[in-house]
Structure 1
Amino acid sequence: MASEDQHEDIDQILNSWTFEPGRLTARLVTATDGRDVLQMRIEMGLLQMETSGRPDGEKPFNFDSYLEYLQAQYIADDSIMLTDDDCLEIDREFVQLYHRRICWLALREYEKAVRDADHTLALMDVCRDHSTDEEWIDSHEHFRPFVMFHRIQAKALIELEKHTPEHAIEELTQGVEQLRSVHQEYDPENDFDEDELHVRLIELRETLREQFEVGQTLNEQLADAVANERYEQAAKLRDRISKREDPR
């Protein structure tokens, strides 16, 4: 019995991985069966999550996530409304995905962060389209800009890693406009230009512009040419953009 208690004790893990207040620390480790698991250090222990599917490893009704289960139901009957049990499972999945998403961002695993952001946004769509509880819907929609912010950041950094600083800047510009549209729909009374998420994305964009000495991007030049009715220049810019984006 003593050896079993010793085996279950995680003091050694916690002592070797110190909690740092105000800093998110995460790591990928190999489990005893050889699979990778994601761990996040929290104040009184750690969270361990699966790297794909549902973070807790559960398979609701043999689906990889509760979202997939719900989507399968709506294929058969799009008029189905969420039950109380559905709402509880959705809330669980939201929290789990949040923890995994911020870990991916901390580890600079940006494609996985985008994947989990998309999962969360799809869950929000399910809540909005298949519930009549406006208060519950709003409790999730309140976080839509924040999830989008994470996604925009991650997409821009993917572009920076895989393509060019100009691509990253254009991704941020496009993302800002997407965020603006959501802000106008859900929070039109507040000034978007003063919104913290907007300010942080603009700061990231201008930091990249300065760091990599990027002036106006091709898309920014195109928008300027169209706005000033320089249509010949606009046509040439469209051709340059098309050639840049065509991999052949």
Structure 2
Amino acid sequence: MSPDIDPILREWAFQPEEVTVRSIRADDGTERIQLRLDLGILQMHVDGRPDGQRVNDCESWLDYHRQQQEQHDQANPDAARYLLEPEDCVELLREGVQYYHRYLSFWHLGRYELCARDTSRNLALFRFVRNHARNDRDKLQFDQWRPYVTMMHARAVATPLVDLEEWEAAINVIDAGIRGLEEFLGDYGQENQADRLGELQYLRRWRKDVVTKSGGGGEDDDESLDPVEQVRSQLEEAIAEERYEEAADLRDQLRRLEDPQPPQLP
């Protein structure tokens, strides 16, 4: 069999404006997830590490370091805490990116339970690194993803509930995501930046929409407090007054609030 994958790439065109993903059956009969990229395809296992590998007889680097941390704490109850060195964080970050590609694929396939599983896993990764990384720089490199993954986790859990019109349960999930994002801001003393955190504004707007669909109302009806509406109004005013450079900045800000994107991949 030729190693040339050009026939596969020609058969499955890359769509630059959307996430192109599919589920296939491997030669052994098990399911794989494929994500089409501009220069190729990522193929991922459904369970365990997306690349199908194991680490020192553990499912992942995260599980390995958790095991090491537990052994360290049991053997040294009064000693310094278990620390992750920079090279450990490199491996953990590379692994976390694999899970990012997979949960994004699950989301676009409508496999919400599996998307929730993988986003929960990466949130646990961020907590572990915050608690054990030796260097603050490593902690920040992981934690910059926390708002996006928190939002995606809330979406993955709440979307099936909304589809089933389980309004109260869906609102509770969204509220938990909102609290998680507010906690993120509090951890960095940035509570005053809530209006600029796109993920938080997304969940707040979604909550308002779900409350409306459920027949509720009240404080969620006040659009004057919606940062998206405020920025949209400022954008319209800037365009009308031909302040085009400011309008471009406002357009970018509006895009970030309406459709939050993850940080750049390392």
TM superposition score normalised by structure 2: 0.74
Tell me how far apart the structure 1 counterparts of residues 132 and 193 of structure 2 sit (CA, whole Å). Answer: 30
**Contact 2:167/2:211 (<8 A) preserved:** yes
Q: CA deviation digits over 1:82-140, x for unaligned, max 9?
A: 23442221011111011111111111111111111111111112211212211111111
Equivalent residue number for residue 77 of structure 2: none
Residue in structure 2 matching 1:67, options 62, 68, 84:
62
Tell me how far apart the structure 1 counterparts of residues 93 and 198 of structure 2 sit (CA, whole Å). Answer: 25
Tell me how far apart the structure 1 counterparts of residues 20 and 144 of structure 2 sit (CA, whole Å). Answer: 26
**Contact 2:83/2:132 (<8 A) preserved:** yes
Deviation at 1:213, TM superposition (A): 4.1
Extract unaligned runs of 5+ from structure 2.
74-80, 221-266
Equivalent residue number for residue 205 of structure 1: 207
Deviating 4+ runs (over 4 angstroms): none
Residues 22 and 187 (structure 1), Cα distance of their counterparts in 2 relative to 1, 3 Å cut: farther
Residue in structure 2 matching 1:104, options 103, 106, 114:
106
Residues 187 and 114 (structure 1), Cα distance of their counterparts in 2 relative to 1, 3 Å cut: farther
Equivalent residue number for residue 119 of structure 2: 117
**Contact 2:162/2:210 (<8 A) preserved:** no
Deviation at 1:188, TM superposition (A): 1.0
Equivalent residue number for residue 92 of structure 1: 94
Which sits farther off after the overlay, 199-208 or 138-147? 199-208
Deviation at 1:55, TM superposition (A): 0.7
Equivalent residue number for residue 152 of structure 2: 150
Q: CA deviation digits over 1:137-185, x for unaligned, max 9?
A: 1111111111111111111113224561332123212321221121121
Equivalent residue number for residue 238 of structure 1: none
SS across alignment from 2:56: helix
Residue in structure 1 matching 2:17, options 12, 22, 32:
22
Equivalent residue number for residue 133 of structure 2: 131
Query: How many residues get paired?
Result: 212
**Contact 1:165/1:214 (<8 A) preserved:** no
SS across alignment from 2:177: helix
SS across alignment from 1:61: coil
1:45 and 2:40 aligned = yes
- Could you say what the CA RMSD is over the residues aligned between the two structures, in angstroms? 2.0
TM superposition score normalised by structure 1: 0.79
**Contact 2:44/2:102 (<8 A) preserved:** yes
Extract unaligned runs of 5+ from structure 1.
221-248
**Contact 1:53/1:65 (<8 A) preserved:** yes
SS across alignment from 1:26: strand
**Contact 1:145/1:183 (<8 A) preserved:** no
**Contact 2:21/2:33 (<8 A) preserved:** yes
